[in-house]
Chains A and B, each alone.
Chain A
Amino acid sequence: MNVVPIKNPGSVLTDAHKVTGPAPVRLSQTPVTAEQPRSSGPSQTTLLRGRMDTLIKSLAPPLLGLLLFMLFWSLLAEHRPELPGPLKTWHSAAAVFSDPFYDNGPNDKGIGWNILHSLERVGLGFGLAALLGIPLGFLIGRFSFLHKMTAPLISLLRPVSPLAWLPIGLLVFKEAQPAAVWVIFISSIWPMVINTAVGVTKVPQDYLNVARVLNLSELKIATRILFPAVLPYMMTGIRLSIGIAWLVIVAAEMLTGGVGLGFWIWDEWNNLNVEHIIIAIFVVGIIGLLLEQTLLMLARRFEY
């Protein structure tokens, strides 16, 4: 278990957020008049210009990247007529999102329903994984016997492709829905187990010495020292797990069917509605990004 938890991978976006955050520009300030001495520090306009500069500097690169991507996409769509371009996709998206919660039977539901059902499966599978994985990680980290006992098993099962677990789920649960949740569960549990366990072993000896000098009870050690000290590691594990769960859901739903983004993509492939497939890709990406950012924000609250 030599996994080093990555605390802030891909923080490009967060950094951009920091810089572009709402700068307190006071527009109600009275304009500088001729009577006022000009040497009273930088004027309001230079201050404003400075803020505009930083805003442009931080926004320009991502916007340029997006623009180039759109350009490349348009060019590609010109040469391959079966691939819809950005504009066509945009119009289609506007139609899809104009009525997100319609319901025309089990195989034709609005995008809102698909998103909610996918989120529900991810939430269920991930929730169960957290419920089992985090306590398991604590135990493995605290007792080296348990660590030695489980280490080979975890090393063996962790690299298994998520979908390899699907037949087992179908076999055991005899139904598609719990099988999909099972796949999410089994593929998202490992980062939480491993990161929590690593966190427990990384609790600074100083803190444990404090616990010993104060003669704290095992319960107090757990609640006042271990848990807070491990929390940042745990949050990293949770974030990685949610990432995997969201990554796996599309594939799992493609195979199990029902309502959900993965099934929607498969359904629209059968209908040869490529615009909808592209919309689904963007929806999956944006929701994944939102999940990640929310958890990063949460994790930052637990850093000391």
Chain B
Amino acid sequence: MHNKFIQIEHVERAFSTQHGLYTAITDINLTIRRGEFVSIIGHSGCGKSTLLNLVAGLIPLTRGVLLCNGREITGPGPDRGVVFQNHSLLPWLSCFGNVYLAVERVFGAAEPRARLRERTEQALDLVGLKDAQHKYPHEISGGMKQRVGIARALSMQPTALLLDEPLGALDALTRSLLQDELMRIVAAQGCTVMMVTHDVDEAVLLSDRVVMMTNGPAATIGDILLVDLPRPRDRLALAEDPHYARLRGEVLKFLHHRHAQYAA
């Protein structure tokens, strides 16, 4: 029971549009184990973010069952920390203030203020931003903003971390830097991760399993790839690793051969 941390069973999500009902994703079946790192990959518009938003509880599902830790997901909760693609920091709060808002909500009722401040600093320290905590979002780089977003999600001590293309907007070098950091943090915190991405290397490098989605409308899971590379993983060593290359090739084949997206 506890091994099945997130259970997605026959989940469907349809949106009503001007042209009638539009089914974004349908018949999704996926079970994520506690402590597992699962990536969702697919072409844009395949509904991978929709799936993440369903698990986050931001939108309701239209069919199926969604369980987190054995309980039905009815809305957002502090047990599921979300990191958005566009960081979504509040520009009028400092980095500290942004994280503190989350800490205060989750622990404010039970803990004294000094402890809340301590938690906030710890979370920022975890992503290497302790020195920049009093800066405002417009004063820091895109990579730093995303770190604050991660710190905010982690500060709530979630059991699951939901990442919606967290590094998608960053340049390649910053991205690989943050990927390594994400691996380190997740290993240290032992949280379950569900990450939406469109970067094949990112998916293979970070995940235990890569979930590959077919193209929309009515997208569903096309295939699931088990990434049985030992951890900790080192990107430089893996670059030469034939097994890594094979796994990477599998994902690429799925995306560009079996479910290629042609320009309309």
Contact = CB atoms under 8 A, between A and B. Distances in A.
Nearest to A217: B105
Interface in A206-234: 206-207, 209-210, 212-217, 220, 224-225, 228
B158 to A, nearest CB: 10
B138 interface: yes
Chain B facing A: main interface SS: loop
What bracket does the count of chain A residues touching chain B fall in? 10 to 19
Interface residues of B, number: 20
B229 interface: no
Interface string A275-298: 000000000000000000000000
Nearest to B136: A304
A206 B105 contact: no
B84 interface: yes
B179 interface: no
Contacts of A209: 58, 82, 84, 88
Nearest to A206: B88
Contacts of A225: 90
Contacts of A220: 101, 105
Contacts of A207: 88, 90
Contact of A215 (B90, B93, B105, B138): B105
A224 B92 CA distance: 9
B105 A213 contact: no
A220 B108 CA distance: 13
Given A210-B84, A216-B101, A304-B92, 8 more contacts: A212-B76, A213-B58, A214-B76, A214-B78, A214-B102, A214-B156, A224-B90, A224-B101
26 contacts: A206-B86, A209-B58, A209-B82, A210-B88, A210-B90, A212-B58, A212-B75, A213-B58, A213-B76, A213-B82, A214-B76, A214-B78, A214-B101, A214-B102, A215-B76, A215-B77, A215-B78, A215-B105, A220-B105, A224-B90, A224-B93, A224-B101, A228-B90, A304-B91, A304-B92, A304-B138
Interface of B: 56, 58, 75-78, 81-82, 84, 86, 88, 90-93, 101-102, 105, 138, 156
Closest 7 CB pairs of A and B: A304-B91, A228-B92, A206-B88, A213-B82, A213-B76, A212-B76, A214-B102
